[in-house]
Structures are given as structure tokens and as C-alpha cells.
């Protein structure tokens, strides 16, 4: 089965994002570029978590703010989606918000579990994945209106940086339990 041009574009974006995520995570684990190996106190580890959540929270706030601002200045949309069918623009902004919220929830859980369960020498991964989250959101927001191939890299960079992190976490914990 041959892929359509849209499917091919999405595949390329997803593959590039997956590779970027894997390389970033492996480099962070192997080289600990932020020198977190010496962290021992729970407060220090929680500080890494807190700092790593700033960018995802920023994008969630920005998504909510963009939608609220648009609704305020749109007579058709000011009553909200529960009372109106919504213009095309507000539907796009709602979709961006919904996807960002979904990505944030996953990232919050994975970042928290990683910081609490993984070796401190591997903590550099979390802030670096937070940066990938932000880069991914920028590409996703910018490309959204241009269709699936244009937003694929951004979506996948946000998603895969968190999902790869989760599966490394899961594998490490299984090895620790049964190893």
C-alpha cells in the first residue's frame, strides 16, 4: 500500500521527531549535561521537576489565553463553545488548547515519575524533554492550519519526547524489580 503525500509528510515529521527525542534522551542519560549526578535531597530533585514543568505550563497558559482573547473580541464566540457552535478560528484555537492540555497531562505525570524514581545522574533528561515539549508546541501551533504534514513534527516532538521517556522509565523500573 502506497502512502499518500499527506501520509508521507506525517511519517517524515514523526520519524524526525522520534529520532530527535531518542538522541536527546540518550545523550542526557549518558552525559548528564546539566550535572545533576550530585543531587541527593528531595528538595533539589523537586526543584528540577518544578523547573521542567515551567515550559509546558507556559504553553498551556498561552493556549488558554489565545482562546480567551479571541472569544472576547469575537461577537460570534464570546458566549463560549457550550452556547454557540463556534467560528472556524475558535475551533482551531480550541483544538490547539485541547491537544496542549492532553500533552501537558502526560508530560506532568511522566516528568514527576522520572524525577522521583530515576537515578539523579539521569535527571538532565527532564529539562531537556521540557525544551523539546516547547519546541514541539511551537512547530505544532505554527503548522496546525496547514494540515497534518505541517503539524506532524511538532505534535510528534511533544508526544514522543514524553512517551520515549515513559518507556525508558518503565523498562528501568521493571529491570530494578525483576533484574
Q: Has residue 112 been placed in a domain?
A: yes
Q: DSSP state, 41?
A: S
Owning domain of residue 108: 41-178
Query: Which pLDDT does position 78 carry in this prediction?
Result: 86
- Mean pLDDT to the nearest integer, 24-44: 94
CA count, 13 A, side-chain hemisphere, 97: 16
**Of 11, 165, 147, 48, whose CA–CA distance to 103 is shortest?**
165
The three three-digit cell numbers of residue 145, written as one number:
492550519
User: To which H or E segment does residue 72 belong?
Assistant: helix 42-73
Q: What is the CATH number of the domain that holds 106?
A: 1.20.120.550
Query: Which pLDDT does position 3 carry in this prediction?
Result: 87
The three three-digit cell numbers of residue 44, written as one number:
533539589
Q: Has residue 160 been placed in a domain?
A: yes
**How many domains does the chain fold into?**
1
Q: Has residue 47 been placed in a domain?
A: yes
- At 36-54, the pLDDT tens digits run 988 889 899 999 999 999 9
Average pLDDT value over all residues in the chain: 95
Q: Has residue 93 been placed in a domain?
A: yes
Interatomic CA distance for residues 58 and 73, integer angstroms: 22
Q: Has residue 6 been placed in a domain?
A: no
- At 113-132, the pLDDT tens digits run 999 999 999 999 999 999 99
Q: Is the pLDDT of residue 141 over 80?
A: yes
Amino acid at each position: 500500500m502506497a502512502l499518500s503525500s499527506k501520509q508521507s509528510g506525517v511519517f517524515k515529521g514523526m520519524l524526525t521527531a522520534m529520532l530527535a527525542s531518542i538522541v536527546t534522551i540518550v545523550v542526557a542519560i549518558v552525559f548528564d549535561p546539566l550535572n545533576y549526578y550530585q543531587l541527593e535531597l528531595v528538595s533539589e530533585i523537586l526543584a528540577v521537576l518544578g523547573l521542567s514543568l515551567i515550559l509546558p505550563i507556559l504553553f498551556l497558559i498561552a493556549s488558554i489565553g489565545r482562546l480567551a482573547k479571541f472569544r472576547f473580541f469575537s461577537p460570534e464566540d464570546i458566549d463560549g463553545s457550550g452556547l454557540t457552535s463556534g467560528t472556524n478560528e475558535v475551533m482551531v484555537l480550541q483544538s490547539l488548547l485541547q491537544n496542549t492540555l492532553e500533552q501537558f497531562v502526560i508530560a506532568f505525570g511522566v516528568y514527576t515519575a522520572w524525577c522521583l524514581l530515576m537515578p539523579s545522574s539521569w535527571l538532565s533528561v527532564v529539562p531537556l524533554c521540557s525544551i523539546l515539549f516547547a519546541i514541539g508546541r511551537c512547530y505544532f501551533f505554527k503548522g496546525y492550519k496547514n494540515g497534518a504534514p505541517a503539524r506532524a513534527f511538532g505534535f510528534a516532538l511533544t508526544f514522543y519526547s514524553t512517551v520515549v521517556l515513559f518507556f525508558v522509565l518503565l523498562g528501568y523500573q521493571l529491570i530494578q524489580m525483576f533484574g
